[in-house]
Amino acid sequence: MARIFTIPWTGTITNTGGNADLWEVLPGDDYPIRVRGVRLGQTSELGDTAEESLRISIVRMGATITSSNGTAGAPETVGRPDQTPAFTCETNGATVATTTGTTDILEEMSWNIRNSPFEIWYPDPDFAPTAIQGEGLFVRLQSTVADDITFAGTLWVQEG
């Protein structure tokens, strides 16, 4: 039976690091995952002069994936509170992941940071970005922010 988890995080996205993996999710053994929704928001850039548009991608990688310097995610189950996901996750990886295999860009989005929150939903599982064991899903910031922003966001992941 499929289970839905959220991976929320708040923090700072800096302009010194370039691109960043906002979320990294690696499926557990025999538990495919799907992104069911993404919510992005920021609370620090509020004036007209702070307006900027950022490129966000949902990326699937296969084979050997190398990532580093993210923070361990804190997934929470939407259903029963005693469930633990089989997947592993990180948030705010300032050094983007690389792979020895294929990199597929499954979704391209642009987010005007003054339009917060920005949301995208996949109510039909057939359209949801999916990964199986040996792959990873990443929500990647493909643009460097003009200056540091205070970020808040949630990723909804279906497992199983």
Nearest to 31 by CA among 155, 131, 100, 105: 131
- Whole-Å CA distances, 10 to 86, 93, 127, 128: 23, 13, 27, 24
Asked if pLDDT for residue 23 goes beyond 90, the answer is yes
DSSP code of 66?
E
Asked if pLDDT for residue 45 goes beyond 80, the answer is no
pLDDT digits (tens, 9 = 90+) for 80-114: 777 899 999 999 998 888 899 899 999 999 999 88
Q: Does pTM surpass 0.85?
A: yes
> Could you give the CA distance from residue 141 to residue 109 in angstroms, rounded to a whole number?
10
Query: Which residues does residue 30 pair with via DSSP β-bridges, in sequence order?
Result: none
101 against 6, higher pLDDT: 6
User: What CATH number is given for 3-159 in this structure?
Assistant: 2.60.120
Phi, psi of 125 (to 5 degrees): -60, -25
Averaged pLDDT, 17-28: 90
pLDDT digits (tens, 9 = 90+) for 128-151: 999 999 999 999 999 988 888 899
